[in-house]
Chains A and B, each alone.
Chain A
């Protein structure tokens, strides 16, 4: 049986300590710049904060993974290289990368460092994964959230590295690392700037009857009735009209979160080494609740007990959860 490590989000030093205390096997975090895919206002770590965080985590047996998982635009590659140099100096346990140039730099300059392939690299076949393993010495791949469990099992048999899958949190609909929707409306790029629906372009407008419109850069993304549960103002969770339908509909996906708590035993059996909880942009309260629940579940499964998963639906987007592509091909 695989170790089933729990990989937990840390948007701030306090969230990192919360995750460590709640039983994370590893935490992942990033610097306060475009080098990671959660480059959100007020989030992330200064070099000093990361140094303290590494000390705190290591003292408690928790690993720290540094996300360097965006794509440097030409002319700005040095920012990513410096972040890698700094991370190596501060003693992080692994880098999570997507860009081949960044991966190549780390493999050549810091050959002792462990490399994880980010979901942003969108490696969804054994061949693609092997490309990164053989060329850059990648030790673990974070799989896109588009595969069924039988497909994951098959991939596991055909690759020389560990597999990490998302088990909870924001349910990305688009292939990560291949999405320019945000840049199309806002001028800020998910791949190059590390933003998705940046808060600076988000506006919530309320009507007298309690209806709420969410807008991104002036485009109406969704409209929630007074009693309706809301979601993030992301383009892929918006409601749109099209010619052959009478009403606006969720053209891509409704506001919903991924929750694979019931599939953990099957995922472990399929050969998944590590479970990732999404949510570096969420609060300590979220981190505490989700990490504790999954810590207990994984411990139960490892001890051969039936896992009793706490109800996490209150923390989910739209207050709805799904098993997404993992459960059935019909999701596609």
Chain B
């Protein structure tokens, strides 16, 4: 595999409701130790959680930037209530840091000022990417379910327009969002009366089928994959296809180690197969998947998928 020093490794926004202490410690360690180039921050899933983070956000941004990381603030995926509309509009007024938009309300507020397109924006194809670029998008994160041939075409289109282009290579996939909070529902509560019970599940609340097969994870209004996407064996092809950024989603595992594993493969220091063993160790019992990338059921892990 070619040694690659251009491709950037990013840490996606933390989608779980971790305590303020845990969050602070997490980003301090990321700043000091994780070989990632860019870090996305901000509450993407639930507007009720946002106030818990806001107090620490300036310090976390400062710490990460001091460590040489680029910080990008991500907007809410769902915008319906007054507070969500206001949060989105306020974010759109920022000059710095950069922002990543996850809802058309954010695009409306941002106008033609530069912005990144988040994975919830459904940038599935070259026509949409072209439209977005003409409106001021500088970077696009593709949907997690896009298969390899489409990723290649979308990536080429984005690069031809001078855009950065990113895809998630690690962590649970976001499979759905809803207006209803399924964490609250699981505890017999409603969204307005949730008492932030989602804080109990740092890596999502597991759902199993009636015959006890793990299937999904609940994270507030979001439904996630039970499996972690792992495109470590596919990184060579992703780079060859022109992806400029690879995204790691924060999970309840040693994310410094995860980032190091991916970095070592990107740098050519480690063979993907050997690196896979290290990633396996870091993630314990969690199952990996790459089905979406290979155009198959997302939960599947396609074996022998390592390209030449």
Contact = CB atoms under 8 A, between A and B. Distances in A.
The answer to whether A and B touch in the complex, with CB atoms under 8 Å apart, is yes
Given A151-B80, A332-B180, A248 B210 contact: yes
Interface string A103-125: 01100000000000000011111
Contacts of B30: none
Interface in B86-138: 88-89, 103-105, 107-109, 120, 122, 124-132, 135
A180 B298 contact: yes
A131 B104 contact: yes
Contact of B209 (A146, A236, A240): A240
B176 A236 contact: yes
Interface stretch (B31-39, B139-147, B246-254, B278-286): B139-147
A261 B89 CA distance: 36
Contacts of A236: 176
B185 interface: yes
Return the 7 tightest CB-CB contacts between A and B, nearest first. Answer: A101-B127, A146-B179, A101-B128, A128-B104, A184-B298, A127-B105, A74-B153
Given A100-B128, A125-B80, A242 B206 contact: yes
A185 B124 CA distance: 20
A180 B128 contact: no
Nearest to A146: B179
A100 B131 contact: yes
Contacts of A75: 125-126, 149-150, 153
B57 to A, nearest CB: 23
A221 B107 CA distance: 37
B107 to A, nearest CB: 5
A179 B105 contact: no
B223 interface: yes
Contacts of B192: 329-330, 332
Interface in B154-200: 154, 157, 173-182, 185-187, 190-192
A141 B144 CA distance: 27
B43 interface: no
Interface string A184-204: 111101011000000000000
B125 A184 contact: no
A157 to B, nearest CB: 14
B297 A220 contact: no
B71 to A, nearest CB: 25
Contacts of A147: 80
B208 A330 contact: no
A212 B277 CA distance: 42
A227 interface: no
A130 interface: yes
B211 interface: yes
Contact of B79 (A100, A124, A173, A180): A124
Given A183-B145, A240-B216, A241-B210, A178 B104 contact: no
A199 to B, nearest CB: 16
B243 interface: no
Interface in A200-248: 217, 219-223, 235-236, 238-245, 248
A104 B103 CA distance: 18
Nearest to A249: B186
A74 B125 contact: yes
B209 A128 contact: no
B16 interface: no
14 contacts: A99-B127, A101-B125, A127-B89, A127-B105, A128-B79, A128-B103, A128-B108, A131-B105, A173-B178, A180-B143, A220-B213, A251-B182, A251-B186, A252-B223
Given A191-B122, A240-B207, A240-B209, A185 B104 contact: no
B146 A127 contact: no
B84 interface: yes
A74 B143 CA distance: 11
Contacts of B143: 180, 191
B157 to A, nearest CB: 7
A77 interface: yes
A99 to B, nearest CB: 6
Contacts of A131: 104-105, 107-108
A263 B104 CA distance: 29
Nearest to A332: B191
A264 to B, nearest CB: 22
B104 A183 contact: no
Contact of A184 (B180, B181, B225): B225
B19 interface: no
Interface stretch (B60-68, B265-273, B288-296): B288-296
Given A73-B125, A101-B127, A332-B190, A220 B180 contact: no
Given A102-B127, A189-B145, A191-B145, A74 B178 contact: no
